[in-house]
Every structure is written in C-alpha cells, then in structure tokens.
C-alpha cells in the first residue's frame, strides 16, 4: 500500500456502506479512549472492548493500531504530554514584565486544567499506577518540566544578579507541588479554582523565596 493511500480522504470519512467502517485512524481510537476517562474512571480500568465500543469499531480492529492496551496508554500519555508541553511553551513566550514566568505558567496550567481535563488526568493522577513503562513515561515528562523550569530559574537569577543555591531542587519542589495540586483540583468545583490558584501561587512564591534566600 502506498503512502498516499494511507491518508484518510474525505470520501473515506463519509463512506459507510453496508455497515462497514471506512478507515479508522489511530487518533480515533485514542480519542475514544480519552472520552471514557474521568474522575471515576482511570485509564487502567478501561477494557479493550469498551474502547472499541466507544470508537464504534469491532473489538479486533483495535489490534490494527495497537499491540495491546499498554501501547494505547503510552500513546495517550505522549499526546497529553505534548499538549502540556506546547501550552507551557506558549506561556513562557508570552511572559510580560508585570507577570513572572512562574505566575504565567501556573495560570496557563490552571486554564488547561479546566479546558483539557481529560488530557491532564493521565499525567496528574494516574502516574503512579499502571505498568512500569507507563509510570516511567509519566515520570519522564515530569522531569522534563523540572529541567525546563530549572533553566528558566538560572537565567532569571543571572539577569537579576541574585543567587540561587539549589536550582534543581527549587524547580523540583515547584513542579511536584504544582502537579500534585493539579491532580487535586480536578476533583474540586470550578468556583473554588480561583482561590486554589491564588494559594498555589503563594506556595510557589514561598519556595522561590526560600530558594534564593541569602
């Protein structure tokens, strides 16, 4: 089969003759899986058949795209991670004079918590259960964010002629705290979010102050 034929055409999307599905994409399955996770459903509790039902495909069609559930789960993490990465990257570029990188990032993060709840669920709440590969993947994303923040901090401190003792510990503390609170927020009603956000910013400021002190 040629490369071209792999592309899903408009015709493919719309054709559905005799109860037979046109081409199914990997992404369709991934999104079907995401649509099932929520506060009370963890990805590790999803069954292959359940996902197939949600994607409107036959159970066996699943195997055309993923070796098993674990492979799907990793793809989901990758997607969520990429989204968060992109979001934080944009936030970083958007930093103004009156708002620090940290505050801007936290605000962006909180926005995403509200708009892309399901995506973040995986990273924030399910990073500690599941297969080794799964947990490893989540952990890898966490340390990635830590590293980025660490670089930011060093740059900022240099610019303002301040000293920071353990930049990697400061960024680790901030990252872990923000992510932990992020997982917590997913359970709270939205009207509490502004308050939680304020508190979170205060807590992060403490860490920063404590980190650069003396």
Partner DNA sequence: CACTTGTATATACGAATGTATATTAAAATA
Partner DNA sequence: TATTTTAATATACATTCGTATATACAAGTG
Q: For a copy of itself, which stretch binds (CB under 8 A), given 18-26, 39-47, 68-76, 78-86?
A: 39-47
**Per CB under 8 A, which of residues 135..164 are in contact with a copy of itself?**
135, 139
Q: Which residues pair with 38 in a beta bridge?
A: 41
Please name the residues in contact with 196: beta carbons below 8 A apart, sequence gap of 6 or more. Answer: 181, 184, 185, 188
Structural contact between residues 72 and 51, judged by C-beta atoms closer than 8 angstroms = yes
- Binds 18, which of DNA, a copy of itself, none (CB < 5 to 8 A, cut-off by type)? DNA
Stretch that binds a copy of itself, among 35-43, 60-68, 105-113, 154-162 (CB under 8 A): 35-43
Give the count of beta carbons closer than 10 Å to the beta carbon of residue 80: 22
Q: What is the spatial distance between Cα 79 and Cα 146, in angstroms, rounded to a whole number?
A: 19
User: Shortest gap between Cβ of 51 and a copy of itself (angstroms)?
Assistant: 17
What distance in Å separates the CA atoms of residue 117 and residue 134, rounded to the nearest whole number? 19
CA distance 130 to 213: 40
Interface residue list for DNA (CB under 7 A): 1-2, 4-6, 9, 11-12, 15, 17-24, 47-50, 56-62, 64-65, 68-69
Interface residue list for a copy of itself (CB under 8 A): 39-40, 42, 44-45, 124-126, 128-132, 135, 139, 166, 169-170, 172-173, 176-177, 179-181, 183-184, 186-187, 199, 202-203, 205-211, 213
């Amino acid at each position: 089969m040629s490369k071209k034929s792999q592309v899903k055409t408009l015709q493919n999307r719309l054709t559905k003759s005799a109860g037979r599905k046109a081409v199914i994409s990997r992404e369709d399955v991934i999104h079907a899986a995401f649509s099932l996770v929520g506060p009370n459903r963890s990805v590790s509790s999803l069954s292959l058949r359940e996902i197939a039902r949600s994607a409107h495909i036959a159970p066996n069609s699943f195997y055309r795209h993923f070796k098993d559930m674990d492979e799907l789960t990793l793809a989901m993490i990758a997607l969520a991670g990429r989204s968060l990465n992109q979001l934080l990257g944009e936030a970083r570029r958007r930093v103004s004079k009156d708002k620090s990188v940290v505050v801007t990032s936290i605000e962006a993060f909180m926005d995403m918590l509200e708009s892309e709840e399901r995506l973040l669920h995986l990273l924030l709440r399910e990073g500690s259960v599941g297969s080794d590969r799964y947990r490893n993947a989540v952990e890898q994303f966490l340390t990635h964010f830590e590293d980025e923040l660490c670089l930011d901090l060093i740059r900022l401190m240099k610019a303002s002629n301040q000293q920071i003792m353990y930049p990697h510990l400061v960024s680790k503390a901030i990252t872990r705290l923000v992510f932990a609170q992020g997982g917590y927020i997913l359970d709270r009603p939205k009207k509490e979010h502004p308050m939680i956000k304020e508190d979170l910013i205060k807590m992060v400021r403490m860490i920063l102050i404590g980190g650069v002190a003396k």
